[in-house]
Structure 1
């Protein structure tokens, strides 16, 4: 996004948009996707350190694993907040943006999603590596709740698409109603995942490992991969719901029109991405693993 020299005249008290605040001197460049990706990768490193610490490997302690995990989560959140500021707040200050500037924001989202594809690909490679060595006994993880959540998330993408169409056609009431429905469906999906985790952990005792007396009684690599991938996806769905919530509030305030809705478009791209990832997760883990 371009910060014009008369930025102080845009109603934000001379406070420059994020692209000038961080990193300085890089013009059109934005490091937020890379900061977020590094934080996301660190979360995996923290999880690996927890496993090594539980087994007493390489002298790694739980404190070290916790520090890496907390720091990585903080970096991930910092990158997300910076991206939110860059893509949603600063862009709103510049009301008279050119079509070229809006295109750059959309391509920025594509770049961000590219880093996310790399992150999820690493998780899938980890899962397939475990699968090649044998998954052992797997509980019944594919059921009606998974089917319901899958249909719900797919439907939400269609509802969001028609919300965009309604806005482009100038039908603001339909746009708001469909956007609100999409947000509600996302919240229900997250609730379904939380309930599923409760069932697996508390009822079926489907856990990555069990520790007794400071020693690992047993470990379940499949459970580790399952919670890592579905948990990462759940984090992304939660972030998507936050984005849609911001867009919904802005929509209620009349900040979108048929000509001006770039933040809606970028949020929709993100939502469609998490939808597609979930389909791959269901095919590879819920169905593929249990079918072996």
Structure 2
């Protein structure tokens, strides 16, 4: 047993696992567990926030757990992806079959994400079909320059990422790095813009998660999307770090492909969200 353990360490495996599982494929790891724990904590934090508004638990408990869980989730995601794809990049062969499996895996994941967002949009359409605005609700002005700027930023990031992907496929590394860095910067600025929008609504408009059914729909959908953009920024950050390490070429860029698929998806969801949530809420007549 000691010999097997030493051999596993010699092959470059990482704790806590020292043996391949199952049957020599992949490596057991705590990172998926850490990521799942952070995701669960996000829901717990949201529930505690609602309980805090009723005085059942301390008011700060929910926000603290929510923000901390997002941090745990993003750290877990980073560790998971780093150890899965980065540490032994050049030791692995450029296997088209494996690359195809990763692409189809991302497609399957995005299909599940369509179902997740569809549930949120269905909820909003259901409440929007009744008397509008909801009785007793004072809706803040949603459409403004900030939404337009955020939308322009996210659309621009899709354009820069598309051309970054094209650049690495043509082995133009300098152009690839510049456009990928610009994409990451645009995504971070978008997240900052959404945080600022929340601040404006909560501090100046007194429009919060507990502001009736529309408040829950607005913050539920925009918050879910913001979390996905943050996840996308982590993915792009890992891809950018790997690009700086010289880990991509015209023949080896499947991670760029899958990250691009995810980023274009969240961009498309944002366009639908603006059309349905922001514009839809401003219309006077029920649908």
Report TM bin, short chain. Answer: 0.7 to 0.9
SS in 1 for 2:226: helix
Counterpart Cα distance in 2 of 1:44 and 1:122: 16
Cα offset, 1:130, TM superposition? 2.7
Residue 167 of structure 1 deviates from its aligned partner by: 1.2
**Corresponding residue for 2:283?**
291
1:102-154 deviations in whole A, cap 9, x for unaligned?
11111121222222222222222222233234442321011111111111111
Aligned 1:105-120 pairs, distance under 5 A: 105-120=102-117
- Gap change, CA 1:236 and 1:174, over 3 Å in 2: same
1:12–1:96 CA distance, 2 compared to 1 (3 A) = farther
TM-score (normalizing by structure 2): 0.76
Listed one character per residue, the Cα deviations across residues 75-106 of structure 1 (whole Å, up to 9, x for unaligned) are 85586346524653366254313110111111
1:208 aligns with 2:199: no
Match of 2:171 in 1: 170
Quick check: 1:282 aligned with 2:274? Answer: yes
1:121 alignment counterpart: 118
The number of aligned residues is 271
What is the aligned counterpart of 1:131 among 128, 133, 138?
Answer: 128
Greater shift in the superposed pair: 120-129 or 158-167: 120-129
Q: Which segments of 5 or more consecutive residues in structure 2 lack a partner in the other structure?
A: 1-6
Q: TM-score, normalised by structure 1?
A: 0.75
SS in 1 for 2:89: helix
**Stretch moving more, 222-231 or 118-127:** 118-127
Gaps of 5+ in 1: 1-7, 210-218
Which residue of structure 1 aligns with residue 3 of structure 2? Answer: none
Instruction: Give 3-state SS (helix, strand or coil) of 2:124's partner.
Output: helix
Q: What's the counterpart of residue 104 of structure 1? A: 101
Aligned twin of 1:214? none
Give RMSD over aligned pairs. Answer: 3.8
Q: Would you say the 8 A contact 2:94–2:251 is kept in 1?
A: no
Map 1:213-228 → 2, pairs under 5 A: 219-228=211-220
| Aligned twin of 2:153 | 152
- Measured at CA, do residues 100 and 12 of structure 1 come closer, stay the same or move farther in structure 2, by a change above 3 Å? farther
